[in-house]
Chains A and B, each alone.
Chain A
Amino acid sequence: MIDKIILEKTIEKLTSKGCEFAEIYFESKSTLGLVLDNKKIERITRGSRMGAGLRVIYNGRTYFAFTEDLSEKALFKIANDLANKETGNNILKESNYTLDEGLSDYWYSQNIDKGTLKEKANLLLHLNNLAWKDKGSLTQLTLSYGDVNQDIFIMNSNGVYIQDTRPRTKAIIQGVFQKNNKIQSAYDVVGALGDYSYIKTRDMDKLLTGVKVKGENLLKAKEAPSGTMPVVVSGEAGGTMVHEACGHGLEADIVKRGMSVYGNKIGQKVASELITVVDDGTIKGRYGSSFFDDEGTKTRENILIEDGMLKGYMSDLQSAKELNIKPSGNGRRESYQSLPITRMTNTYIRKGKESKENIISSVSNGLFVKHMGGGQVNTATGDFVFEVSEGYMIRNGKIGEQVRGATLIGNGPEVLNEIDMVGNDFGYSLGTCGKDGQGAPVADGQPTLRIPNLVVGGTN
């Protein structure tokens, strides 16, 4: 796709003035998107983006440029311009580059099935028909399907020369429900590192039914209460909380700038001993997986917090160097137009021993979070919020009436320390995580957890 000799010559030019590191990242990405809205297939979009991002580093100072012009002339000009930003006295080892090809081991399925446009259009039409057949309070339905095939090549002055292919597929169902002047919306999503074969094995009809039930129930739900109370977050709720409460704070680029509450705490107790937090980019089919990261480092399982002790951070090449730790395979970027930064892949809290039923029955009056939505964190203060997309009151140890419209707010280290029951169940959610203006596909998971006290921000 891009000639090895051109890559080698580009690196040669980038390093010609004595930088400490040079890299070329080449990316070719094709996308397909279908949107069915208002009972019609409204949008079909096909696209292709191809370009290269080049960087050099002199004494920790990074110079970066990208281009869609992949001619030898254009690449060499950019490489020379970047090299000339400074001069250094680093002498880099000559590398014998051999291509290390990323394997498809972590794809959902090795049986390639890209699916036809007809199949994908028919899937949306089928779901649309099914949704309106017994419509209930449904007033609007948006179905989207998207797949991406990303091909990357990376060569750097450390001798790395890799290729990796990442197919990613996602389908979203969103419904609007209306009854007696009340309006609610419900949503669900499935997605994977993998091609259309993933969607084929999903029970999409069930996903749709789930969204419809959620919407109907929300119309009946009461407003959530306000105040501090015990909260049980279900194992099927997704992993937004771990992502926000500690994930971002364990990213080495944030740590190195002194902007994390978890900075300088390796070896210290930062959470309840029931808590083990892992980030693992190698989980088969998970939305945040890939064989290599976007700097050519092999992805791996990284234990971040073990039995409450802080074990390590996630890192990209540059932040690992500055913190003097081993790169963890978490250097990711949105595209060739962006510099790599430290990102999560698939992040989760490990299962514990309690049964979900025991955890629920231990609470006399509190909130049960069945599904979480989005969230946000301020890594410097540790304050984080996450949305309850489906919640119920717990009354005398039993799940009670459904409530809507609640956001929970807490402080990461405080909440992790206070968690006093960890379930033996487990569930994942997926999403696109935003940081420094770049989006990255991620997955998050956790077992059922009990937090003795958390601020619930309801509307009542």
Chain B
Amino acid sequence: MKNLTDAIDYGLSKGCKDVELYVEKSEELNVEIRLGEIDKYQESKSQGIGIRVIVGDRQSLVYGTSDKIVDLQKGINEAIEIIEFMDEDEIVLNGNEQFQRTIESTNILDTTFEDKVKYIIKQEEDGISKKADKALVESTIYDENKYSKLIINSRGLMKKESGSYCGSSISLAINKEGVNETGYSYYYTRDFNELLKQDLGKEAYAKAYEMIGAGMVSTQKYLTLFTPDVVVDLMRLLAYSFNGENIYKGKSLFKDKLGEKVISDKLNIVDNGLEIGALGFSHFDGDGINIRENRIIDKGIFSGGLYNLSIAQKLGLKTTGNASRSYGSLPSIGYHNLYIENGNTKIAEMVKEMNNGIIIKELMGLHMANPITGEFSLGASGLKVINGKISSGFRGVTISGNILEILSNVLAIGDDFQRRTSVGAPSLLIQDVIVSGS
């Protein structure tokens, strides 16, 4: 800690108005098994420091992986050197708050290595399956991360937090008559016991198995059930527009839409980084501001975006505690624990009521969607529903539309809320989805 406060003092002595340091450390464990044996094993420690320097109304950032005082001083000098090329801006720092917190997840660290490996071996066995159609498992992985983040600045801010999380993923393929069908599943959590409850191997196998013999569907509009995994993908696309910086710069679908109905009144969307146990749980954001719950969409009405200190200041708003930061960057904006609230319709009921339609289980090429216009056209695969019953699979088609239109056409919300990482959602039944196929 002394080298950090010394570096801040050094910066002030060199004429900086303020200096802020952001330090991240992590210890990772990553194990990949194949046929019950360890195939790859990684164990690593890493760290990085971001030096944010403010001179007058300008700021710059220099980062590095060394925390030696000479390197920190060198970093500060470099940051001062480059600052003259920056444009002036209103820069807001948090100050005068100190705390240190640990996010308890002792059962990750208390569980033996053998038990962790045992879990993924079981998943691999389940993935291969005892059925006649055995799967070829591409990889089964266990990941673990123990981390700490610290923010300290010349305004008296000092917050530190440490925590850990773990997760697992499996991907496999079933080859039937020369055609492969693939399945994938994953889950990340702060609670090892939660991971233990996940049947990732069985899930991945089931996904591939139900696709055997998949064909095409014809080009038309369909009544469509989006599974939680697919809704989560769409949420990631929508999250671009929740970002206050994009709202400020006119790149958001919700610019000038505060208080207006933007999607179906059945939907509530929340970012709650205070949910204990959630992967996105944290006490403070990248500005060192305490995190809170933010309701973004309330009954279909846009009730506010996500902001950090600087962008909130420009818009005359208050920060929502959504500064996102790594040691290599100045604070930007991000979500912590984003989700669509659960509904109450049983999936079996939905399938029965839709009578004829499709279930989309996987999207392909999400990074190709345009978040600024909300328009997307993506590869899709899933299952057909005929006369209220789930029938054979389909793939090689695309679905297209506009994210706001899709989310305006919601007929029902499932009671099957699911969260595999920091974004969660239930299934959604949506009408008039454009599908291009044969």
Chain A residues within 8 Å of B, Cβ to Cβ: 34, 37-38, 40-51, 60-69, 81, 85, 117-118, 121, 139-140, 176, 178, 183-185, 224, 226-228, 257-259, 261, 337, 339, 373-376, 378, 380-381, 383-387, 404-407, 409-411, 455-460
A414 (CB) vs chain B CBs: closest residue: B396
Docked-complex contact B379 and A226, CB < 8 angstroms: no
Q: A224 → chain B, closest Cβ, in Å?
A: 8
B-chain residues with CB within 8 Å of residue A257 when the two chains form the complex: 136, 138-139
Q: Complex formed: what's the CA distance from A63 to B370 in Å? A: 40
Q: Complex formed: what's the CA distance from A405 to B62 in Å? A: 39
Q: Complex formed: what's the CA distance from A418 to B44 in Å? A: 47
Beyond A381-B182, A407-B400, list 6 extra A-B contacts (CB 8 Å).
Answer: A49-B48, A117-B82, A404-B375, A405-B370, A455-B397, A457-B399
Docked-complex contact B379 and A376, CB < 8 angstroms: yes
B-chain residues with CB within 8 Å of residue A34 when the two chains form the complex: 85
Residue in A44, A121, A226, A337 whose beta carbon sits within 8 Å of that of B436 in the complex: A226
A-chain residues with CB within 8 Å of residue B79 when the two chains form the complex: 46
- B378 is an interface residue with CB less than 8 A from chain A: yes
A-chain residues with CB within 8 Å of residue B402 when the two chains form the complex: 459
Docked-complex contact A455 and B44, CB < 8 angstroms: no
Interface string of B59-84 (1 = CB under 8 A from A): 01111111000000000001100110
Q: Complex formed: what's the CA distance from A47 to B71 in Å? A: 12
Docked-complex contact B396 and A455, CB < 8 angstroms: yes
Q: Complex formed: what's the CA distance from A247 to B62 in Å? A: 37
A-chain residues with CB within 8 Å of residue B182 when the two chains form the complex: 378, 380-381
A-chain residues with CB within 8 Å of residue B131 when the two chains form the complex: none
Q: Complex formed: what's the CA distance from A137 to B379 in Å? A: 31
Residue in B83, B365, B436 whose beta carbon sits within 8 Å of that of A227 in the complex: B436
Docked-complex contact A381 and B395, CB < 8 angstroms: yes
Chain B residues with a Cβ closer than 8 Å to the other chain, count: 69
Chain B contact residues: helix, strand, loop or mixed:
strand
Docked-complex contact B398 and A383, CB < 8 angstroms: no
Docked-complex contact B436 and A455, CB < 8 angstroms: yes
Q: Complex formed: what's the CA distance from A302 to B401 in Å? A: 41
Docked-complex contact A185 and B373, CB < 8 angstroms: yes
B-chain residues with CB within 8 Å of residue A228 when the two chains form the complex: 219, 436-438
Docked-complex contact A46 and B85, CB < 8 angstroms: no
- B236 is an interface residue with CB less than 8 A from chain A: no
Q: Complex formed: what's the CA distance from A140 to B381 in Å? A: 36
Residue in A51, A68, A385 whose beta carbon sits within 8 Å of that of B365 in the complex: A385
Chain B residues within 8 Å of A, Cβ to Cβ: 37-48, 60-66, 78-79, 82-83, 85-87, 89, 136, 138-139, 173, 175, 179-182, 219, 248-251, 328-330, 364-365, 367-368, 370, 372-373, 375, 377-379, 381, 395-402, 434-438
Docked-complex contact A459 and B434, CB < 8 angstroms: yes
Closest 4 CB pairs of A and B: A457-B398, A226-B436, A407-B377, A385-B379
Given known pairs A257-B139, A259-B173, A455-B396, the reply for A407 and B66 (CB within 8 Å) is no
Docked-complex contact A65 and B372, CB < 8 angstroms: no
Docked-complex contact B180 and A65, CB < 8 angstroms: no
B-chain residues with CB within 8 Å of residue A65 when the two chains form the complex: 42-44
B-chain residues with CB within 8 Å of residue A69 when the two chains form the complex: 45
B-chain residues with CB within 8 Å of residue A50 when the two chains form the complex: 65-66
What are 23 A-B pairs at a CB distance below 8 A?
A: A42-B89, A44-B82, A47-B64, A61-B38, A64-B42, A68-B47, A68-B66, A139-B250, A183-B372, A226-B219, A257-B136, A257-B138, A258-B175, A376-B365, A376-B379, A380-B138, A386-B365, A404-B375, A455-B398, A455-B436, A455-B437, A457-B398, A459-B401
Q: Complex formed: what's the CA distance from A410 to B216 in Å? A: 12
Docked-complex contact A387 and B368, CB < 8 angstroms: yes
Given known pairs A62-B40, A455-B437, the reply for A185 and B370 (CB within 8 Å) is yes
A184 (CB) vs chain B CBs: closest residue: B373
Q: Complex formed: what's the CA distance from A328 to B165 in Å? A: 38
Docked-complex contact B400 and A61, CB < 8 angstroms: no
Q: Complex formed: what's the CA distance from A65 to B30 in Å? A: 10
Given known pairs A48-B65, A63-B41, A64-B41, the reply for A407 and B86 (CB within 8 Å) is no
Q: A47 → chain B, closest Cβ, in Å?
A: 4
A-chain residues with CB within 8 Å of residue B65 when the two chains form the complex: 48-51, 68
Given known pairs A42-B87, A457-B399, the reply for A68 and B438 (CB within 8 Å) is no
A-chain residues with CB within 8 Å of residue B85 when the two chains form the complex: 34, 41, 44, 117-118, 121
A-chain residues with CB within 8 Å of residue B37 when the two chains form the complex: 61
A456 (CB) vs chain B CBs: closest residue: B436
Q: A265 → chain B, closest Cβ, in Å?
A: 12
Given known pairs A176-B372, A381-B182, A383-B395, the reply for A47 and B400 (CB within 8 Å) is no
A-chain residues with CB within 8 Å of residue B399 when the two chains form the complex: 457
Docked-complex contact A376 and B375, CB < 8 angstroms: no
Q: Complex formed: what's the CA distance from A457 to B85 in Å? A: 45
Q: Complex formed: what's the CA distance from A40 to B57 in Å? A: 13
A-chain residues with CB within 8 Å of residue B438 when the two chains form the complex: 228, 455
A263 (CB) vs chain B CBs: closest residue: B180
Docked-complex contact A457 and B330, CB < 8 angstroms: no
Residue in B40, B251, B398 whose beta carbon sits within 8 Å of that of A339 in the complex: B40
Q: A241 → chain B, closest Cβ, in Å?
A: 13
Q: Complex formed: what's the CA distance from A79 to B19 in Å? A: 38
Residue in B82, B250, B377 whose beta carbon sits within 8 Å of that of A140 in the complex: B250
Docked-complex contact B368 and A407, CB < 8 angstroms: yes
Residue in A140, A374, A404 whose beta carbon sits within 8 Å of that of B367 in the complex: A374
